[in-house]
Amino acid sequence: MRDRWWLILLAAALAMQARLAFSTEPLWYDEAFSVLAARLPLAKLWQVCAADVHPPLYYLLLKPFLALPLRMEVAARLPSLVATWGAMALLWTVLGRLGLGNNRKWALLLTAWMPSVLNFSGEARMYAMVMLCFVGAVWAVWEGHWWLAGVLGAAMAWMQSAALAYVAALVLLAWVRLDLRRAAGLGAVAGILYLPWLPEAVRQAGALRAHWIWWNGPGTVAYMLYRAIFYKMALDSVISPLAMMVLAGMGFWGALRTRREILIAAYGPPAVMAAASMLSGHGLLLHRGVLPSVPFIAATWLPILRRRDVGRVLQGMLAIFLALGAVKFAGGKGDARYADIMEAIRQNRVDAIVGVNSAVLPLRLYVPNLPIYVVPGLGDILSDSAATNLGLHIGYPPEGRVLFVDFELISASRLERAVAEWLRNCGQEIPVSAKDFASQTTTLWLLDWRPGTIPSLRNSAAGWRPNCGENCAKSHGSSSTD
């Protein structure tokens, strides 16, 4: 009877993942970056990745999927679904090897319903693939195939820079499970395979943007772990304090009763990322980067969830949390909505689009015929060279009707505030409900762009600080550039 319920709930989770991956929801900024990068020839892709924060392997793997006769959104999200299902299948074996016994059923079910796993199974980004590689690498270590674990570790690092922390965790795992010699071999295989990207990685680390500084302390680590699991939960602002407390309590007391190999897989990589963040002052621990640890974190909860006294209460609470996560995803991922922008373009004569690059990059896919400009100094996430390679123009548009997409990604920056003020004086606001990120708002301004407006924008720009927020000057002095 219990087995039947388990099977039904697992099938429902897989169906939910498929529903998100096969959704025709438009791609948001990160996903648009993936598709635009995957369309580039290899040499240009290398350049764009070197100017961004991740290596190119994921975009290369995405290429053949984009050639499939499917809608662009579906084709781009398909690899993540395949990777998530692959990871689920492998987890069955891996959790068994890790000694979870009958508990592996529940660890697998929890993982399949985790809001973060649901979200990234339908996201055109590398996170699900990195999870598949990590689960595979843990299996390889267990079977004594240290070289295979090294290859998979290198593949992870070639997809996502933060996955270097996972290579460190794999070396530790191999040391604990096998011996120091084979652990060193694993590290050497991963290191040699990663070597071609190393110079670029060093350059990337040196060029980390000032506005990436958000490292504040251990509370951020706790919050990132919470977000790594309960991503975009419905009623999040009401439930999150409770969820944080329950997860911290369960995590701590569960960890005391969990074998160290599971603890290394669950908390080793976040600990390495947190240590690297503390040492460098940059936020190198991001909830998405910890996705491969999620199944193992779930495994650490099981000793507590199966207790006779409080197990039932905690199971009930966890079921409510997961249901709230699922409720949020029942309507789709809800990351992006450009219908109003397209409508504004249809209804008005628009000669060019101008804006912050994180707002306008997805429009390269949805209005490919309109030229898109980023005012020099207004770019936020992409470097100028990467933006140019992805088809944006860095500069001022020629005279004509211009649609300015104002997107409050880093609204702390003086530059953006000054632009917003300037737009309010000379533009015509178009009310929209467009969004590209869960928490940001977009405003559209239609304006007549004449040669006269350019000097006035330049004059105001002369007094602006680099686009990295108020803290930029505090933490980096005036030498900081963006």
Partner 1 sequence: MSNWHEMVSQQDQVCLILALLGILLSGFVALLPAKLRPPALIVLVLVALSPGLIR
- For partner 1, which residue of 157, 189, 314, 361 counts as binding (CB under 8 A)? 314
To the nearest whole angstrom, how small is the minimum distance from the Cβ of residue 471 to partner 1? 4
Q: Which residue's CB is nearer to partner 1, number 179 or number 470?
A: 470
- For partner 1, which residue of 69, 309, 368, 463 counts as binding (CB under 8 A)? 309
Residue 123 φ/ψ region, left for φ over 0, alpha for ψ in the -120 to 50 degree band, beta for the rest: beta
- Work out whether 437 is an interface residue with partner 1 (CB under 8 A): no
- Work out whether 317 is an interface residue with partner 1 (CB under 8 A): yes
Q: Which residue's CB is nearer to partner 1, number 73 or number 416?
A: 416
- Work out whether 270 is an interface residue with partner 1 (CB under 8 A): no
CB-based contact 431:445 (threshold 8 Å): no
To the nearest whole angstrom, how small is the minimum distance from the Cβ of residue 432 to partner 1? 17
End-to-end CA distance of the chain: 60
Query: In degrees rounded to 5, what are phi and psi of residue 406?
Result: -100, 120
- For partner 1, which residue of 89, 202, 248, 330 counts as binding (CB under 8 A)? 248
- For partner 1, which residue of 238, 323, 330, 339 counts as binding (CB under 8 A)? 238
Neighbour tally for 337: CB within 10 Å = 16
245: nearest Cα among 321, 302, 159, 172: 321
30: nearest Cα among 330, 260, 362, 262: 362
CB-based contact 354:402 (threshold 8 Å): yes
Query: Among all chains, which residue has been given the structure tokens 């003020």?
Result: 421
- Work out whether 257 is an interface residue with partner 1 (CB under 8 A): no
Q: Which residue's CB is nearer to partner 1, number 308 or number 349?
A: 308
- For partner 1, which residue of 188, 310, 420, 454 counts as binding (CB under 8 A)? 310
Kindly state the tokens that stand for 171: 């070396």
- For partner 1, which residue of 239, 265, 305, 372 counts as binding (CB under 8 A)? 239
Q: Which residue's CB is nearer to partner 1, number 348 or number 411?
A: 411
The interface mask with partner 1, positions 202-221, x = CB under 8 A, is -----------xx-xxxxx-
- Work out whether 312 is an interface residue with partner 1 (CB under 8 A): yes
Binders of partner 1 in range 149-178 (CB under 8 A): none
- Work out whether 256 is an interface residue with partner 1 (CB under 8 A): no
- For partner 1, which residue of 108, 246, 345, 387 counts as binding (CB under 8 A)? 246
Query: Among all chains, which residue has been given the structure tokens 């508990």?
Result: 103
- For partner 1, which residue of 10, 53, 222, 234 counts as binding (CB under 8 A)? 222
| C-alpha to C-alpha distance for 37 and 126, rounded to whole angstroms | 13
The interface mask with partner 1, positions 401-420, x = CB under 8 A, is -------x-xxx--------
Rg (CA), the chain: 23
Q: Which residue's CB is nearer to partner 1, number 56 or number 379?
A: 379
Nearest-5° angle of CA 335, CA 336, CA 342?
175
Kindly state the tokens that stand for 152: 């998979």
To the nearest whole angstrom, how small is the minimum distance from the Cβ of residue 224 to partner 1? 9
Which sign does the torsion angle of CA 220, 225, 231, 234 carry?
negative
CB-based contact 290:269 (threshold 8 Å): yes
Judged by CB under 8 A, how many residues of this single chain contact partner 1?
Answer: 41
Q: Which residue's CB is nearer to partner 1, number 349 or number 474?
A: 474
Query: Among all chains, which residue has been given the structure tokens 């949390």?
Result: 321
Side chain identity at residue 307, one-letter code: R
Kindly state the tokens that stand for 245: 């407390």
CB-based contact 11:3 (threshold 8 Å): no
| C-alpha to C-alpha distance for 240 and 226, rounded to whole angstroms | 9
- Work out whether 385 is an interface residue with partner 1 (CB under 8 A): no
To the nearest whole angstrom, how small is the minimum distance from the Cβ of residue 248 to partner 1? 3
Stretch that binds partner 1, among 152-160, 259-267, 312-320, 449-457 (CB under 8 A): 312-320
| C-alpha to C-alpha distance for 159 and 166, rounded to whole angstroms | 12
Q: Residue numbers of the site for partner 1 (CB under 8 A)?
A: 213-214, 216-220, 222-223, 226, 237-242, 244-250, 252-253, 308-310, 312-314, 317, 408, 410-412, 439-440, 469-471
